[in-house]
Structure 1
Amino acid sequence: MARSAGFLATAVTGDGTVVGGARGALHVGERVLPWERIRSATWDADTATLTVVTEADTVALTFDGGATRLLALVRERITASVVLQRPFPGGRVVARRALTGERTVAWQVEYDADVPSPQAEAAATAALAQARADVGL
């Protein structure tokens, strides 16, 4: 993976994996993680580890150094993908849009607990319907 492949920032993990941030996605080796599918990314400065949580899994990336530009890009791109965020008791509804010009909105429900209560599920259903109505989708 070379910087000429359209990456805005790159860094190499301790095990040699090239991580590149492009306009539409974070590339981790051969994996492509679209920004709108990333729920969160956290940086642990003590261990130099970036933890990326997607809809499907969690990816932990440990860097030896030189990741400052990539970290700033990750924060900016994930934030830019959020169209709307609405809290409800027990979690939040998040609408995200691809940063590649697509107009499709991906709706996500994020719960505060690993196993949501029936009340939180009911609140999520209502919050999702209201959020969709508010933005006309």
Structure 2
Amino acid sequence: MLAKITVADYMTKRNMVTLKEDVNVVEAIKQLLSHKITCAPVINGQGKLVGMFSERDSMKVVLESAYNQGSAGKVSEFMSTDIVSVNADASIVDIAAKFKDSTIRSFPVFRDSELVGVVSRTDVLKALVNL
């Protein structure tokens, strides 16, 4: 039964938090904290996904600020650009396997080349307990 559940059934889609690549990283970190999320997709001026900004990327900001004692910079300077994405129609079981083999906590979700949501490890666990 779990194999029939899709990513679209549990992904975050409404009120999905995205960050613009030219936003100050301190503001981006505030967004992550205020929304209680561990990462967010980063989009360019045309609304296309160009990266992911995570808690891990935030640690780079902390370290660089400590050493340079200056301005923190923009999201584009710290975001991860090696993006692993998933299809909205993929089985939640397949995504669980991806999470098992990865340190990534959330994947951007696409349908027909359009960013439609984000799926996290927590979303997969929700699918399991809601059986």
TM-score range relative to shorter protein? under 0.3
Please report the TM-score for the alignment, with normalisation by the length of structure 1.
0.26
* Greater strand proportion: 1
Which structure's relative contact order is higher, taking Cα pairs within 8 Å and 6+ residues apart?
A: 2
The structure that is helix-richer by fraction is: 2
